[in-house]
Amino acid sequence: MAAPHETGKGLSQGARNALPLILFMIIGFAAPLLAVIAYSFMPPRSFGLTHAPTLDNYADIFTSNSYISFGWSMLFAALTVALLALICYPIAYGMARLFGRWSPILTLLFTIPLFVSENVRLYGWILFLIKNGVLLGTLKSWFGIEPESILFTPGVVLLGMVYVYLPFMLFPMTLGVSMVPNETREAARDLGASRWQVFREVELPLSMPGIMIGLLLTFVLAVGAIAEAKVLGGQTIIPITHDIEIAFTYAQNWPLGAALAVLLMIVVGTLVMLVLKRFDLDAILGKR
């Protein structure tokens, strides 16, 4: 006894309306992903998708040095996220609770750099940090001291990554902190909690949705970072994204690049899933 307009043609009204978007997603999102997955099973250095599938590329990854790049990427992403969490929480707390009418100005200041290309900003850092550049040049001419440039070290790569991804941690975190109802803080305090206990028992768990979104977002972005290591790091470390790029371009080994990309997706995807399973965002956000 289904409604007449829902039978016959086989597709419901909703499904028909969603059709253009579904097609767009298939062509724009699913197809390239499937192509990459398919390529990862093709023989090394082949360019078609018609060969017999093979696991050679995956075997190559584990016999080559790519795992080192993999490790660098994961390590630097993890360090970036950890540093960002420590740096951004106090700022987020201030923006949500303390700065009042200065918050929008601060938001603007943190947003403006996003309007400039990441590469341009990184080259700006080079000019600032390079030997005889803005920083060291000034120190030399004013104080006569000549410290070593920190450019082209792993540390400066980390600095660059923290700098580039800061807004992506800050804004979700600010949202998270501002979602904590002020009266729950007051109630906890009233019930005898010290400031630290209020933070641990109420503040942190209740702002967790925002914090989690910030952590996941910056981690996923940082794992895919490439420009910081190239520009600032001068290739002292090689992230996995660099290996993928080399495989697709210079080495002309699409299947190897595809296999690396698939592996990266699997590892990052698994991590994200595990975290989301542990912190059920829906449950924390639910009914509020």
Residues in the site for other proteins, rule: CB under 8 A?
181, 183-184, 186-194, 197, 201-202, 205-206, 284, 286-288
Tell the smallest beta-carbon distance from residue 251 to other proteins (Å).
50
CA distance 67 to 73: 10
Question: What is the C-alpha to C-alpha distance for residues 146 and 125, in angstroms, rounded to an integer?
Answer: 18
Min dist. Cβ of residue 177 to other proteins (A): 15
Q: Please, which residue, 9 or 200, has the CB nearer to other proteins?
A: 200
Q: Between 96 and 262, name the residue whose CB sits nearer to other proteins.
A: 96
Q: How many CB atoms lie within 10 A of CB 69?
A: 22
Nearest CB to other proteins, comparing residues 88 and 188: 188
Size of the chain in residues:
288
Nearest approach, Cβ of residue 84 and other proteins (Å): 24
Closer CB to other proteins, residue 81 or residue 206?
206
Q: Are 209 and 285 in contact (CB under 8 A)?
A: yes
CA-CA distance, 248 to 45, in Å (whole number)?
10
State the nearest-atom distance from the C-beta of 103 to other proteins, in Å.
22
Q: CB 193 → other proteins: shortest distance, Å?
A: 5
Of the candidates 217, 220, 222, the one whose C-alpha atom is nearest the C-alpha of residue 281 is 217
Closer to other proteins by CB, 8 or 192: give it: 192
> Which of 82/187 has CB closer to other proteins?
187
CA angle in degrees (0–180, nearest 5) for 103-106-107: 85
- Cβ contacts of 51 within 8 Å, gap of 6 or more: 42, 43
The least distance separating other proteins from the CB of residue 124, rounded to whole angstroms, comes to: 42
Cα 218 from chain centre = 3
Alpha carbon dihedral 223, 163, 113, 135, in 10-degree steps, equals -140
